A and B are shown apart, each in its own frame.
Chain A
Amino acid sequence: EPEVTQTPSHQVTQMGQEVILRCVPISNHLYFYWYRQILGQKVEFLVSFYNNEISEKSEIFDDQFSVERPDGSNFTLKIRSTKLEDSAMYFCASSDTGALYGYTFGSGTRLTVV
C-alpha cells in the first residue's frame, strides 16, 4: 500500500533555530497538507498546498512557517525561528481528491524545541 514518508521521525532543536521537516507524498497525489498535534491536544490543520501554491492556511501558520515542493517529490515545512510552543507532532498528508475522501497521513515528525 502506498504511503506518505516523513523524515526525521524525531528532531530536537534549540529555541530560535530553523528546522525543516520533510515529507514524500504518495506519487500520484496532487494535494498536500501539514497538520500538527501538540501532546494531549487535537490534530490541527496548518496548511494545504495544490498546484505549487498554498491553497489555504490556518491562523497557526504565521510568517514563521513556510512550505515548499522543491523537486516534484518532496514537500517540506520550514519553521524559521522555533519557539517552545512549536513542540508537537507534525503530520504530512496527501490526497488525489482533496479532502473529499479523507487523507493518508505520514507517521509524523516529533519536534522538540528546548
Chain B
Amino acid sequence: RKEVEQDPGPFNVPEGATVAFNCTYSNSASQSFFWYRQDCRKEPKLLMSVYSSGNEDGRFTAQLNRASQYISLLIRDSKLSDSATYLCVVNMRGSSNTGKLIFGQGTTLQVKP
C-alpha cells in the first residue's frame, strides 16, 4: 500500500463548482497533515494544515479522520486560478525528531470558464 494515496484526476470542473479531493495514508503514527498546492514546474506551496476538528480558510475546507486515515479538501466556488495540482502531505516522524514530509502523487484540478 502506498504511504499517501490520492486519485490523480484530472478533475475538470466549471467555474463556481464545488470540488472535493480525498487522500488516504498508511502510517497510523503520522503526526501532522497538510494540503500543498503545486503549479506546473513550480515548488509546492503550503495551502493549509489539516486538523481532526476540521479547518476552513475562505473557500477551502480540510478535514482529517484519524480512525479511517483519511484526509479531504473541499474547494467551494472554484476559480480559474485554482487550477493546479493539490498534494496531500503527511508528516512522518522518523528516527529523528526533524521529521519528513511524505507526498502523495497529487490530484490535478482544471477549472474551466
Contacts and interface: CB of A to CB of B under 8 A. Distances in A.
B101 A102 contact: yes
A89 interface: yes
Contacts of B97: 55, 98
A107 interface: yes
Interface string A94-113: 00001111111111101000
User: Binding site of A, secondary structure by majority: helix, strand, loop or mixed?
Assistant: strand
A45 B98 contact: no
Nearest to B97: A98
Contacts of B34: 102
Given A105-B43, A105-B44, A107-B43, A99 B91 contact: yes
A42 to B, nearest CB: 5
Contacts of A91: 43-44
B71 to A, nearest CB: 14
B94 interface: yes
Q: Pick from A33, A35, A100, A107 the residue with the most CB of B within 10 Å.
A: A100
A100 B103 contact: no
A91 to B, nearest CB: 6
B55 to A, nearest CB: 13
Contacts of B103: 42-44
Contact of B42 (A44, A101, A107): A107
Interface of B: 31-32, 34, 36, 38, 41-46, 49, 87, 89, 91, 94-106
Interface of A: 31, 33, 35, 41-45, 48, 50, 55-56, 58, 89, 91, 98-108, 110
